[in-house]
Amino acid sequence: MSRIQKSDRANGKALAYGKDHACGWFVQVWTIPPKPHATDDIPDDSNMLVDKDTVFDGIGVHGMIEIAREHGFEIAREVLA
């Protein structure tokens, strides 16, 4: 499994993406508070905006990149090779 995580406090969002052996490619976007808090890196149902993967939602690399862009994040294609 690979998981890369980014946060953008000014945007109020965090992003996690990668590839898992069970669900394939995945992307998650969740809200984070303007001030740092210990649980910012832990998404849950109350702050989740996007939670998609290959198995359940049919997304691939291109879909993952597009979702990230829609929420103000960039994913380098080289990272996904």
Q: How far apart are CA 17 and CA 40, in angstroms?
A: 16
The answer to whether 5 and 68 are in contact (CB under 8 A) is: no
Residue-by-residue pLDDT tens, the chain, 81 positions:
788 999 888 888 999 999 999 999 999 999 987 776 666 666 777 789 999 999 999 999 999 999 999 999 998 776 666
- pLDDT of the residue at 40: 60
Q: What is the pTM of this model?
A: 0.85
Determine the Cα–Cα distance for residues 32 and 50; give it in Å rounded to an integer. Answer: 13
**Contact at 8 Å (CB) between 72 and 50?**
no
Domain residues of the chain, as ranges? Answer: 2-80
Q: What's the CA gap between 31 and 70, in Å, rounded?
A: 14
Distance CA 26, CA 11 (A): 21
Residue type, 32: I
Question: 3-state DSSP call for residue 53?
Answer: strand
Res 81: pLDDT: 61
